Structure 1
Amino acid sequence: MARFIEDHMTDTTDRYRAPALDKGLDILELLAGIEGGLTQSEIAKALGRSPNEFYRMLDRLARRGYVTRVDGDRYALTLKMFGLAQFHAPTRRLASLATPLLRELSQRTRQANQLVVFDRGNAVVIAQQEAPGYWGISIRVGSHIGLFDTGSGHVLLAFSSPERRQMMVAENRDTGAPARDIPPALEARFDEIRARGYEAMPSAQTVGVTNISAPVLSADGEPLAAVTIPYLPLVDSEGAPSMDEAAAALVETTTALSEFGGCSSEGETFVSE
């Protein structure tokens, strides 16, 4: 923390100073390197200032969704900046890179599929492939879907670190979704999802559909995205893959995407830490 103070002291020779902006950025940069958050007094001490100087700034950052209170009086970063980056060029590259693999997956399974990322409290569809036949479940690109009642949401939560999962839930509350904690039964299900490598659950929105979802992982094991097949049994299609066969093909696809190491064809990372 002493290193942070040394590196972030106000530069008195700076010609175009913006003290309020500097103060807000100092807070964000400080919290980015702290697990578990800091109190207002701890933030002030780390930055060499009076605690009263940060009350309004912390209030504004919280209201804009950049920080959130944890454990009562501690402030921690949310994933809002991560979410803002998601819809920058790296996410478009992710969707572009995934498209041929998702197209091949739809042909192999005869099912539609979607690529889903976490963005500012929601799971958001950023790409989708139609089923090759007459029938399939389609979700519009840009649709916001639930974190707690969809296969994509379960996978994004299950494969995230406990700290990141906590921030995702906090951001979900900030979007106006009903305030809730993760039930113990769902936490236990996350263990099963990680052990199996994918989620398979009845759709909460469409009768007769089973959502099969698997993660696209970054090099450090955090989920970049989820790929979901809304599996619809095809009773009149001889030789159509079974649900287990579709799940196996899905895992092969997400493993192939993960093996790119979270990098685009230009060698740039999809998501910056």
Structure 2
Amino acid sequence: MAGDEDDDRYRAPALDKGLDILELLAGVDGGLTQAEIAKKLDRSPNEFYRMLDRLVRRGYVTRPDGDRYSLTLKLFGLAQLHAPVRRLVSYATPLMRELAETSQQANQLVVFDRGSAVVIAQQEAPDYWGISIRVGSHISLFDTGSGHVLLAFRSPEERQMMISEHLRSTDKPPQSPEFFARLDQIRERGYEMMASMQTAGVFNLSTPVLGSDGKAIAALSIPYITLVNAPQAPDITRTTELLLAATEKLSQLAGSTVKQAK
């Protein structure tokens, strides 16, 4: 009894209500209306109006269809900042170092975080020349290989949520049907290869690090440059093969059993 009394003494009803909503929405597809949320939680709809408004304004919940509430990926992004990311980087570091040596190219590891693709680890090229992106850099989902891969290896609903969050943090316009068709092609092929839209002469090679559910938890990318002073360096085809092999190893360490394209 004493334990129950202590639990009641330290209750925070508003916090409990917000957590109830988040936990409920996390377990449904397609979202719920305010009335449906109230019914499932056995409460009056009026009890949830202010809480839902605050969750929407803080970016945890969205209303893509006007009257239905769905979770955004903000909680996922927050989770990326803690132990799972540190563990992923610790797994990735030796593989990224080996990849830099065998490919003679720099590489970086990128995750989705609150509307942006964020570099969480990078490995310099072993020799004089290479393209590096600083850890902590925020890069676009729309015009980078890493961004394309992070979107391609997610469900259509998750893609839309990621894009919605990205649009709120940038002034970029919504994407065309051709863009989504490209994402489907990347998923089928297993990787992205595209000319850099930021630096002339660079090709973005990007592959997904897959979790146990077969979805991308990160992208491992090489900004490939042709090394004219290193004739024995792997060409772009061989470099892509090395990149795919590295991400397959990293995906296995992350718990994936999905075979990646070769």
1:107-256 counterparts in 2 under 5 A? 107-174=101-168, 176-178=169-171, 180-256=173-249
Is the 1:116–1:124 contact (alpha carbons within 8 Å) kept by the matching residues of 2?
Answer: yes
* Other-structure match for 1:49: 43
TM-score (norm 2): 0.92
Is the 1:68–1:170 contact (alpha carbons within 8 Å) kept by the matching residues of 2?
Answer: no
- Report the AA paired with residue 92 of structure 1: R
Quote the Cα distance in structure 2 between the aligned partners of 1:262 and 1:191.
Answer: 24
Is the 1:79–1:167 contact (alpha carbons within 8 Å) kept by the matching residues of 2?
Answer: yes
- Report the AA paired with residue 162 of structure 2: M
Question: What 5-or-longer segments of structure 1 have no aligned partner?
Answer: 1-10, 264-273
* Other-structure match for 1:32: 26
Is the 1:150–1:204 contact (alpha carbons within 8 Å) kept by the matching residues of 2?
Answer: yes
- Report the AA paired with residue 218 of structure 2: A
Q: Aligned residues, how many?
A: 252
- Identical aligned pairs, as a percentage? 67
Is the 1:125–1:140 contact (alpha carbons within 8 Å) kept by the matching residues of 2?
Answer: yes
1:104 aligned residue (84, 98, 101): 98
Q: SS of 2:253's equivalent?
A: coil
Quote the Cα distance in structure 2 between the aligned partners of 1:162 and 1:236.
Answer: 44
Quote the Cα distance in structure 2 between the aligned partners of 1:182 and 1:27.
Answer: 31
TM-score (norm 1): 0.89
Where does structure 1 differ by over 3 angstroms across 4 or more consecutive aligned residues? 179-182
Quote the Cα distance in structure 2 between the aligned partners of 1:13 and 1:109.
Answer: 58
- Report the AA paired with residue 106 of structure 2: A
- Report the AA paired with residue 145 of structure 2: G
Quote the Cα distance in structure 2 between the aligned partners of 1:124 and 1:200.
Answer: 19
Point out the more displaced range, 153-162 or 16-25.
16-25
Deviations 1:172-222 (A, max 9, x none): 133x21264342101111121112110001111111100000000011101
Quote the Cα distance in structure 1 between the aligned partners of 2:248 and 2:90.
Answer: 17
Deviations 1:226-252 (A, max 9, x none): 000000111121111111111010000
* Other-structure match for 2:71: 77
> 1:12: how far off?
11
Q: SS of 1:70's equivalent?
A: coil
Q: SS of 2:133's equivalent?
A: coil
Question: What 5-or-longer segments of structure 2 have no aligned partner?
Answer: 257-262
Quote the Cα distance in structure 2 between the aligned partners of 1:66 and 1:180.
Answer: 22
